[in-house]
Structure 1
Amino acid sequence: MTDRSNNFPPLPKFLRIKPCFYQNIEEEIPAPHQQLVRRVYTLWMMYSGTLFMNVISCIAWWAGGGSATNFGFSLLWLLLFSPCSYTCWFRPLYKAFRADSSFNYMAFFFVFFLQCVLSFIQMIGISGWGACGWIATVLFFSQNVGSAIVMLITTLLFTVDTVLMALVLIKVHRLYRGGGGSMQRAQEEWSTGVWKNAPVREAGFNAATQSVQGPTLPQYPASVPSYPDNSQW
């Protein structure tokens, strides 16, 4: 408990590159919010899988007579957005629930809203943007049915991703506002520097987890509020 080494992403030990983050939902996230954080993590994996499927669909699009530009952009989106989405919106949400950090909540809301917009644009499927969405797929049925069917799979995945992202954004916002969160709290954290590495809010949590003996669960700091949860997601 006192010597926690980074464990994400899980890389083979023989590589010289080491994991960049420590992630343990059962240990660090308060019990009432563990399920939500797991689902958001699953959503990130689903979106990354959709980007991978989008590369395959763009290859089919290219093979059926489409532009190679779409394949190039789809590969770029996979290499860029998969790690950036984890770093820029899942990690802020993880740290927000871990330490009741309003600054991280605000960072999540801002970046995740842009993520929702991006996923919506990918769902639309503008030709030449490297995303197999509805416009590109429907129009390509008249040119190559086989390729269009492969493209349709990615289109449906982008659609599901967009809907789930919108639901997550609404859910987290309700939890945050229900717990008394506000922009003023985020500004106070910014001005005092609490949002930086090893925030003061986590000191109580670390002390509690280090004092835990045996199989008993860690005690979370009193600063982490109990957010009302009136609905199931």
Structure 2
Amino acid sequence: MSGYDSNPFVDPVDVHPFQDASITQASGGTENVGEFNPFSANDLGTHTGTTIPIGDAGSQPAILQTSVEQSAQERASAAQTNLIKQQEELERKAAELERKEQELQNRPIGRALNTGTKENNWPPLPKIFPVKPCFYQDFEEDIPDEYRRICKRMYYLWMFHSATLFLNILACLAYFTADSQYGVDFGLSILWFILFTPVSFICWYRPVYKAFRSDSSFSFFFFFFVFFFQVAVYIIQTVGIPKWGNSGWISSISMIRTNLAVSVVMMVVAGFFTVNAILAVVLLKMVHSKYRRTGASFSKAQEEFSQGVVTNRNVQTAAASAASAAAQGVFQRN
């Protein structure tokens, strides 16, 4: 009953809760916490008693890969190089245009009309000659750089073709003097020279010149159509069928026993015809390869032809005349 004798109003004994022996023992180990080194050798399983410096660790620090940055730099460098090339190309074209403009400004007044048309300069005839030039030709101004060489070669082929036809007249003349029955060859050789020289210029050289100048599909197809026949004519002239007006191999060989000197002259011309045929085939293939790069097509040729017919003044005049004549005929019947 002694518990009941205590005064409940008396202050109880001030008991500190952390003075308990178990708590004091547990909290007594915190005095050396600050001295703990997690990188000490004792904690790593060794007993050296020393701490391993961080710099002596065997592993290297992680390095951020810069492959993405390098690829971005490479793309930027490639783009800059491309821009530099484009700028150089534009500057080159600008210089070319400026050069052409300067040439036009320095050109004499009589060279070009105020309407913008160019004065004809081919064939180059003297001013005192009564016949004036019929065509305008300037490779440097009209033909692009990539087509200029092949266009000049076609022009040289036409010149070689004309020279061969002229030499054919001389060979046929010798043929006629050696044997009078071959006078028909001499007459036909003159006709071929007069006919084929201008016709070849108009029918296959000028079309290929216009095709390269203006990238005309119709001119390309017209050239191919006519030049195939020209190659066939070269082959016939090379063969040299008697009484066809050509000093070819058959005619020249047939004259060996009759007159050797005439036969040699005719063989030289036959060799010229052979060179013409070979060059024509080679240049035809070259023009065809250039044609495939231009993007020309048969549909474009048809479109250009139809537009040319519709816009041609002569065709318009003829159509108007036919329409008016038909209308007058209808009114007269009524």
Normalized against structure 2, the TM-score is what? 0.57
The within-5 A match list for 1:65-144 is 65-66=179-180, 67-144=182-259
Pick closer, same or farther for the CA change 1:196–1:138 going to 2, 3 Å: farther
User: Which amino acid in structure 2 is aligned with residue 85 of structure 1?
Assistant: S
Distance 2:273 2:263 in 1: 15
Matched residue, 1:182: 297
Pick closer, same or farther for the CA change 1:196–1:56 going to 2, 3 Å: farther
The within-5 A match list for 1:14-93 is 14-66=128-180, 67-93=182-208
2:285 maps to which of 160, 165, 170 = 170
Matched residue, 1:208: none
SS state at 1:193 partner? helix
Which of 1 and 2 has higher RCO (CA within 8 Å, sep 6+)?
1
User: Which amino acid in structure 2 is aligned with residue 63 of structure 1?
Assistant: T
1:8 maps to which of 122, 127, 132 = 122
User: Which amino acid in structure 2 is aligned with residue 108 of structure 1?
Assistant: F
Matched residue, 2:263: 148
1:91-114: per-residue Cα shift (whole Å, max 9, x none)?
A: 000000000000000110011111
1:175-209: per-residue Cα shift (whole Å, max 9, x none)?
A: 11233222111111112228977xxxxxxxxxxxx
Tell whether 2:272 aligns with 1:157. yes
Is contact 2:150-2:286 (8 Å) kept?
no
Pick closer, same or farther for the CA change 1:80–1:45 going to 2, 3 Å: same
Matched residue, 1:220: none
Higher helix share: 2
Query: Unaligned 5+ residue runs, structure 1?
Result: 198-233
User: Which amino acid in structure 2 is aligned with residue 32 of structure 1?
Assistant: E
RMSD over equivalenced CA pairs, Å = 1.6
1:126-168: per-residue Cα shift (whole Å, max 9, x none)?
A: 1001000011111111211110000011000000000000111
Query: Unaligned 5+ residue runs, structure 2?
Result: 1-103, 105-111, 313-334
The within-5 A match list for 1:198-217 is none
Distance 2:172 2:136 in 1: 34
Is contact 1:122-1:158 (8 Å) kept?
yes
Matched residue, 1:205: none
Computing the radius of gyration from Cα coordinates, the structure with the larger value is 2
SS state at 1:10 partner? coil
Pick closer, same or farther for the CA change 1:93–1:194 going to 2, 3 Å: farther
Identity of aligned residues (%): 45
Count residues in correspondence. Answer: 197
Matched residue, 2:65: none
Normalized against structure 1, the TM-score is what? 0.81
Distance 1:33 1:142 in 2: 48
